[in-house]
Structure 1
């Protein structure tokens, strides 16, 4: 239990740092990914996105609450519309993911 609280506190610090670095705020969505735990997808006010892994959905929720971010039920169209992608993401999505060549 203490380890889970420590991990949640560390995640909260990482979420807070992300938010401060990307426009001063962020919102997130938490997804259960099986025995691995939960994925916290973050979108900063500037449109930058990132993710973190938590050992459980409960620890992810605890971290998000401690960091003071809005957590959405789903990564819906409204949240996706805020994401800003660059050449790296397009290269990864269009090249590697479909078996094509990656743009450098």
Structure 2
């Protein structure tokens, strides 16, 4: 396939991703913003910020697919991380714990590897 043919072929939005994002948008009052962020070999992360500030995300294969998902969901618009969007985003305590991973429940931490630089 040539580059011209690849450019002309429209991407299709995966139905499972579209349905889960539609449920998210409906739960958030009918509208949400999507920030499309390339994530290397994993694809493109579609980070959702609802009207109430709740966060959600899905990962798709490429940017064209991410744009097709945004086009397929009514009430979803593309946005960038700016002051207005970040001030609306509300991260729940359970989300912080999930992002922290194994560190979340620790009481003692190893010494920093760059301690000599920091001290």
TM-score (norm 2): 0.67
Contact conserved, 2:13 with 2:65, CA < 8 A, in 1?
no
1:18 corresponding residue in structure 2: 24
In structure 2, relative to structure 1, the CA distance for the partners of 1:82 and 1:10 (3 Å cut) is same
1:61 corresponding residue in structure 2: 67
Matched, 1:39 2:35: no
1:77 corresponding residue in structure 2: 83
1:52 corresponding residue in structure 2: 58
Matched, 1:101 2:105: yes
Instruction: Give the Cα–Cα distance (whole angstroms) in 1 for the partners of residues 13 and 45 of structure 2.
Output: 17
Partner-residue secondary structure (3-state), 1:5: coil
In structure 2, relative to structure 1, the CA distance for the partners of 1:100 and 1:70 (3 Å cut) is closer
1:29 corresponding residue in structure 2: 35
2:92 corresponding residue in structure 1: 86
Count, aligned residues: 97
Compare CA radii of gyration and give the structure with the larger one.
Answer: 2
